[in-house]
Every structure is written in C-alpha cells, then in structure tokens.
Amino acid sequence: MFDEEILLLIKENRHREAIEKYVDNEKYEKAEEFCVTKDKSHGLLTTLLTIYFESYEKNNKEYERLMKEPKVSEIDKQQMHK
C-alpha cells in the first residue's frame, strides 16, 4: 500500500509529499534515491534537505519544550512537601 501511495503522489506531480512520506516512514535511502533518479529540474534533493531541516527544527523545539517541563521525580518531591 505504501508504494502505491508514493506512485500516486508522483503521478500527480506531488513530489514533496512523496518525499515527506518516505521521510515520515524512515525510508531515507529511498527518499534520496527518488530525488536523484527523478528529473533534476524539480530540485528534489534541495526539497529533501529542506524537509530534513524542517524536521530537525520541529524535533528540536519539542525537545526544548520537554526539557523545560518538571521531571516526574521533581513533581513527586513537590507533592511530598505539601
């Protein structure tokens, strides 16, 4: 089913969505292979790199948010002192 979805996206010239689907499913080598073998005029390797950067930024923000939250052990200690 996954491969069929990719083929449909490609047929509809929705290359970015196809690349995102590869990345979301952790098929990084397939994403790179797709970008290299398709028409160079689409700039697909640049699109792949952009998706990687966007993913990094999203994950980094989530990491920073989680690091600001109190740890479970800290919450337990606060409740014990009440």
- The whole-number pLDDT of residue 35 equals 94
Residue type at 68? K
**Number of independent structural domains in the chain:** 1
Mean pLDDT of the chain: 89
d(CA 15, CA 13): 5
Q: How many residues does the chain have?
A: 82
- The whole-number pLDDT of residue 42 equals 81
- The whole-number pLDDT of residue 78 equals 64
Provide the residue range defining the domain that includes 75.
2-80
Tens digit of pLDDT for each residue in 10-52? 999 999 999 999 999 999 999 999 999 987 778 999 999 999 9
Count of CB atoms within 10 A of residue 14's CB? Answer: 14
- The whole-number pLDDT of residue 76 equals 64
Residue 59 binned pLDDT confidence (cut-offs 50, 70, 90): very high
- The whole-number pLDDT of residue 79 equals 67
pTM value? 0.75
